[in-house]
Structures are given as C-alpha cells and as structure tokens.
Amino acid sequence: PAVDNAPAIVVGSGYGGAVAALRLGQAGVRTLMIEMGQLWNTAGSDGKVFCSTAAPDKRSMWFKTRTEAPLASFLWLDVVNKDITPYPGVLDRVHYDNMSVYVGRGVGGGSLVNGGMAVTPLQSYFAEQFPTVDVNAMYGTYYPRARAMLGVNTVDPAWFESTEWYRFTRTSRKAAANAGLRTTFVPNVYDFGYMQQEAAGTATKSALAQEVIYGNNHGKKSLDKTYLAAALGTGNLTLHTLEKVRSISRAADGGWLLGVDRIDATGAVVETKQYRCTYLFLGGGSLGTSELLVRARDTGALPALDPSVGAGWSTNGNTMVGRANHIWDTTGANQATMPVMGIDDWANTANPVFAEIAPLPIGFETWVSLYLAITKNPQRASFTYDAASDGVKLGWTAAQSAVSVAMAKKLFDRINLANATIYRYDLFGSGSKVFADDFCYHPLGGCVLGRATDDWGRVKGYPRLYVTDGSLVPGNIGVNPFVTITALAERTMERVLAEDM
C-alpha cells in the first residue's frame, strides 16, 4: 500500500500556509510544508540576510537580471534599478499580459517583503464581499486571533508627531485635511518599540535604513517569527524549501499526489519528486494556488473542479501615484519604510478609495507624496490554462486598470485642487505616467470562497483538499489584505480540524 510522506501537506508558507501549519501542528498532525523560495536565515558576506532598496543585489529579486522596483525612475532617469545575478531572491514580479504582480518568495511568503500594514476592513464591507460568512464570528473571534498571533501594534502618536522619520506622512496628512479628507492611523506588524530605538541610535536600523520590499533584517514580525516559528515549535512540521509544486492529482485510493521540482540557486531543476498525503492545504497565494488548480482542472488531472476555479481575480483596485508638494512642504530625507497612515474615503459611496501614505525612502528631499490607493474597482478577471507554456494566462485588461486609475484620480484631483499642487510625472517610467496602472501588490481571488470552495475553503468536488490563502478573497477587500487572509485561514482551520480530521 502507498505510504504518505506526511498525513498533511501544506503548499506555500505565506499567511494561509502558515496558519494551516500551526493549527495542524498543534492538533498533532504531522505536516510537510513545501515552499519554492528560500529560508531566509543566513547572512551573506556583508553580514546581512537581506539587502536594502538602496543597494539591491542578487538577494533582492526572484531570478531576474535586473531589479524591477515599483518606482521605475526618478526625474525620468533610470537610476532606481540595478543589474543583478539571477538568484532565488525574495521579491518576485510576475508578468501577465496587462498586469504585473509583486509577491514574496521564501519562508514567510509576502510577509518578508510587504509594508506590514495590518488593517481590518470595515465590517459592513466584509459582509458585502463575504455574504455567507458569519461576521460576528469573524470580528469577535478570528480577526482578534489573527491580530494577536501576527503581533499587530501601533505607532506611538506622540512620537509620530515629533519624529523626522514620519514627516512625509504628516505632510500628506495636511494635504488631505486641506481637501476635507479624513486620515486614520493604521496598525502594523513592524515593532514600533524597535523603530524608536533605531531612531534613538540604540538599535541597528532596518525600517529606518531603507529596508522593506527586499526584506527587513530587523524589527518586522514576519511569519517566520510568528506563526511559522510556533508551527515548528510543535515538533510536527517539516519544511522543504526551493521545491516548487508543479502538479496535483489523486491516487486511486483518494490520497493526494504532488509532482514537485527541486531547484538549485541557479534555478536549474536538480530533482523531480513525488509526494503523497491524505489532506492537502493550498497556500500558494492568489497566483500560486490559482495556477495549480486551473492546471489540474484543464489538463484533466482534477476534472471535477468547479468552473469558477481561476475566476474572481482582481488587484484590490491598486494604483500608485505621486504628488509634488510645494517647496515649503518638505517630506524629509529620512523616511521610515513602514506606512502608518491612510486617507480613508471608503465611506464616499460615489467613489470609495482608501489610500495608504507610502514612503519614498531614497535618502534625500524629494517633495514627493507617494500613495498606494485601494479603490473599489468592480472589474474581475480569470486565469486560463495555457497549454503551450503549461502555465496560466491572466485575462486582465488595460481598460480594467483604467477603472482603478479613474477612481484614484478623483480623490487626488481633489487634494491637488485644495493644495494648488500637481502630480509627479517622472516616477513610473519614461512615458510621463502619473498613475502606475501596470502593477499591483494585492492579488486577490482565483478560488473564491463559497464559489470554487464551500464556505470554509473546502475545494468543491474533492474531499480533503483545502484552500487557505488570498485566492479565497473575491478580488477586493478595501484595505491591505493580509489580516483578512489570516483570519479566514484561522476560521477554516478551526472548522476543518473539528469536522474533517
């Protein structure tokens, strides 16, 4: 008889995967976690695990010959990006036809590279997006559980008002207030006590040393320090890195079979493996999980997967934009990389936007106010199988991005009008592009809760197959998504452990 490598396998080590691994481990279930990225715990020759945005090297990006930073240019000059050696670095930019998606690669997934903003959406908007989920249980139990485990904390308001490191945020707040707009503090998983020590010169700088999208060497409670550390602590979790799951199929006895490529630091496949398990949890993120399931359905490996697998995808309405402040409204040479405030105009039903006030930490005065806007863009797209590449295509169009841009523009036109300021035209490449309409940070959907799965993430048509990641969220959640992804995974794991295992 066939023998499982472990009773449970978890694919991917981001938020969804990490919650699954911890709760399985605590329940005494031996679990194997398979992650295509590296375990980021070993310092390079410079004594650091991660490189900074100011001096990117091969550790920055996932198999690229040149970095692909979100801000492509400054004063239209190609000064931001650097040539690098292809390597399994920590940040990937995945290119589809009309949209590029940033994702983290490594043990901890997106938590290694993100801005740490830990935002709980409005209860009413959550209910709108998840009509079949009990909001009282979410807001009473699963969100608080997720926030506690993730180490969510808030900046000390008095320090915020006085520190040079958040001058950029105060300047953007003033501009928003001049337009009658509300700003709100947002929590984060970066340890603000540590940040204050950085500012005081008593701790090694990380958020105050231009570290963020290529990883933080200190201060940030990424998943490897929280959920995954606890999961390993149960003694039931085994972690395999630099292994990419390529295929999922079902054995005659109902067990799960995974085809896996193990790669080396050059990206070469050095071994092709097969794993077997009884319970399979997919936490590859919106891109990873959608690709695995669309491929499995459309190659005939799992033909009973729901037609909605691959659908319901969007960018969370993301678009980035910069404004030029007046010469007297400085944003500061010193900027913390962790955002702590957003412009909250979500209640404006004619044009709902939540815009995080983002840093531009390049070490000199720029007078730029930068924002990552989350808009209530209703457009959705689907992943489809592409036999030629054995991969997926994403049906997102430029016209769909234009919807996000138009919504963000309404808000920032108001701010510019009230302040007599203009946009920056030099940040997103040579075409004088004002709004970044070709990349996003918040891929959501592709295996939407209650459509491709039941209301708890059990994949329709296949018992003992579960999705726990951002592919469950139907394209938009109105705020930065990882707290919601974590809370939904907590909800799924409680149910699955009680009823299925």
- What are the residues binding ligand FDA (CB under 6 A)? 11-16, 34-37, 102-105, 109-110, 113-117, 213, 244-245, 283-286, 288, 292, 441-442, 469-470, 480-482, 485
Residue pair 475/483 in contact (Cβ under 8 Å)? The answer is no
Give the separation between CA 448 and CA 254, rounded to whole angstroms.
24
Shortest Cβ 214–ligand FDA spacing (Å): 9
Name the residue with tokens 């540590």.
Answer: 194
Q: Between 340 and 419, whose beta carbon lies closer to ligand FDA? A: 340
Q: Between 155 and 292, whose beta carbon lies closer to ligand FDA? A: 292
Give the separation between CA 402 and CA 437, rounded to whole angstroms.
7
Give the separation between CA 12 and CA 231, rounded to whole angstroms.
14
Q: Between 367 and 482, whose beta carbon lies closer to ligand FDA? A: 482
Q: Which bin fits 356, alpha (ψ -120 to 50), beta or left (φ > 0)?
A: beta
Q: Between 152 and 368, whose beta carbon lies closer to ligand FDA? A: 152
**Could you say which of 35, 211, 291, 356 is catalytic?**
356
Shortest Cβ 96–ligand FDA spacing (Å): 15
Q: Between 25 and 104, whose beta carbon lies closer to ligand FDA? A: 104
Shortest Cβ 275–ligand FDA spacing (Å): 11
Give the separation between CA 380 and CA 372, rounded to whole angstroms.
20
Give the separation between CA 308 and CA 283, rounded to whole angstroms.
18
Radius of gyration from C-alpha coordinates of the chain: 22
Give the separation between CA 45 and CA 399, rounded to whole angstroms.
46
* 182 phi/psi in degrees, rounded to 5: -90, 135
Give the separation between CA 130 and CA 137, rounded to whole angstroms.
13
Nearest to 177 by CA among 60, 45, 345: 345
Q: Between 372 and 419, whose beta carbon lies closer to ligand FDA? A: 372
| C-alpha distances in Å from residue 146, one per residue of 226, 354, 473 | 11, 22, 16
Q: Between 318 and 421, whose beta carbon lies closer to ligand FDA? A: 318
Q: How many CB atoms lie within 10 A of CB 29?
A: 20
Shortest Cβ 213–ligand FDA spacing (Å): 5
Nearest to 112 by CA among 29, 11, 214: 214
Shortest Cβ 194–ligand FDA spacing (Å): 17
Farthest CA pair distance, the chain:
75
Shortest Cβ 3–ligand FDA spacing (Å): 22
**Could you say which of 35, 198, 218, 442 is catalytic?**
442
Angle (nearest 5°) at CA 29 between 466 and 302: 30
442 is catalytic: yes
Shortest Cβ 109–ligand FDA spacing (Å): 3
Could you tell me the two tokens for 363? 């070490």
Catalytic residue ranges: 356, 442
